[in-house]
Chain A
């Protein structure tokens, strides 16, 4: 493990300034009453201490709309956009919370594997990530319940706010070390007192982050509840707008469309964010829809997130970031759904209508 450093919090500006020579820098910025990840052209706009952002950093690795390839319809030529992507300026992504780092690790698994998605990884490799430790809870998040309040990988540098208005800096990768060297004079190697300050910060975190939802047994609850009326009741308020899926750090569904040029001689193939809440998501040729009712789609999203991921990846697909709750126009709270779900079985373990 690389030796940790400490730095003054106010020196973040210097780090961003130094990095700007090599990277396009992105990080949390203010948007009306909320925060979003945005481009940092002026380091003063970077907000290190923020509650949450509307969208997760997923947008930097799987953008809302992405041209995958172009077709020349007259010459029957196909050209993908990977070279352009690889020529992209390196990116520095600042102040990513633990929950979102875990979200990115989820996406790494989805887009990796036997069929590697080169678009995703081209962006991923171009990006250096500076994570930041949340020592206090945020409005909607429940990271501790989902065990995403810690990270052991997924960052290049990881900052923990410590006493004396400083950050304790863990270096996760060579990319992180490279970043340190771009502004070497603002980093000091951490000493015994700094380790003490780091421990104190972690102790504070441990005491302050609540454990709100018990997901122990969630797989069993879900297996037993698939046909439970609970889902219809919960779905009554759902407008199937897909806002929850758009803001989710681990949702990755996409649709693919061909856009013709007006000359009708060339076309782009674009993939765009999709959501399993949408009517046409599970529609097949000939008109059969495997999840026809809005309630079926509402339920499916929970099952895929909480159950399907567990099968595919061995972990739950929810990072507890709370964005879906913040975004839902009907104020459907994922925490409440989880609590009610476990409640069904606590009340009457055998009498309910699961199948």
Chain B
């Protein structure tokens, strides 16, 4: 996919974007759909699954967010955002029609080209599904390009499941094998109970052509990586999307530096091989 670069005079200046849809997913997370105010941006702004943007709430601050929509859907941008601080609290107060600033896309994104032809196991813990959803929908929209697709998704409880409608839609697809689990169920929960790694018992993988794509809170990586190595996935075929506090997004402020890598431009997607070279990465 050819990436159109928006040549900007000043990389730090955001473009204006309007909130066009707001869909509450859980008590804490909402899916926000934005479109750029300036018409030409709709064509110019292209991105890869796994990339992120810097979103400005003017006067409050700026924060990085993974893009949750798939680039196969043009003209808008979906960001799944959890309330955790000043910027995200304010974003949750936005009403349709309100304007924010967005700049990007930044980061390397997932290597969609080299994943072609491979079987893919997605492992998402909690809010980690937000960036993975972009790639999952990209794969679904280019289904013939990829091999077997499995999705493992775990959250703490059923009320924290994200993208519930979409989970149902993925479940209904014959060529997607979706497994969902919760750490603790409730009275209505009929599905799996246990942390996301327990799903590895559900399925035997042939690993010679398998790539794993993992995203979740820091604790998820350690345990999931262990499972993946146990079943024989190569270190260069385990892809982790890391979270750091990018302030600039373009490799200058150094907030997201891990070892000798910058999460914002070298990542946020790293192979396990790379992660092992970077101290304090996970």
Instruction: Select which of A111, A113, A258, A276 is within 8 A of B61 by beta carbon.
Output: A258
B65 CB → nearest A CB, Å: 10
Contact with A along B242-272 (1 / 0, CB 8 A): 0111011011111101111100010000000
* Cα(A127)–Cα(B265), bound, Å: 29
**B114 at the A interface (CB under 8 A):** no
Q: Pick from B11, B60, B61, B257 the residue with the most CB of A within 10 Å.
A: B257
* Cα(A197)–Cα(B72), bound, Å: 70
B interface, size bucket: 35 or more
**B234 at the A interface (CB under 8 A):** no
Q: Pick from A111, A254, A256, A285 the residue with the most CB of B within 10 Å.
A: A285
Q: A71-B59, A258-B61 are in contact. Are A274 and B16 (CB under 8 A)?
A: no
* Cα(A266)–Cα(B58), bound, Å: 9
* Cα(A267)–Cα(B90), bound, Å: 16
B247 touches A256 (CB 8 A): yes
Q: A71-B59, A226-B279, A308-B260 are in contact. Are A78 and B101 (CB under 8 A)?
A: yes
Residue of A nearest to B280 (CB): A290
B251 touches A115 (CB 8 A): yes
Segment with Cβ contacts to B, from A53-61, A148-156, A207-215, A296-304: A296-304
Segment with Cβ contacts to A, from B80-88, B155-163, B205-213: B80-88
**A88 at the B interface (CB under 8 A):** no
Contact with B along A250-291 (1 / 0, CB 8 A): 001111111010001011010100101000011111111011
Residues of chain A contacted by B247 (CB below 8 angstroms):
254-256
Q: A69-B12, A78-B14, A312-B260 are in contact. Are A111 and B255 (CB under 8 A)?
A: no
Mind listing 29 A-B residue pairs with CB under 8 Å? A69-B13, A76-B58, A78-B101, A80-B13, A114-B251, A115-B265, A116-B11, A117-B250, A253-B255, A256-B61, A256-B62, A258-B61, A264-B59, A267-B58, A267-B59, A282-B245, A284-B243, A284-B244, A285-B84, A285-B85, A285-B243, A286-B217, A290-B218, A290-B258, A290-B280, A296-B280, A300-B280, A308-B257, A311-B259
**For the complex of A and B, 6 pairs with smallest distance between CB atoms:** A311-B260, A115-B250, A267-B59, A71-B58, A308-B260, A285-B84
* Residues in B lying within 8 Å of A, measured CB to CB: 9-14, 16, 56, 58-63, 82, 84-85, 88, 99, 101, 217-218, 243-245, 247-248, 250-255, 257-261, 265, 279-280
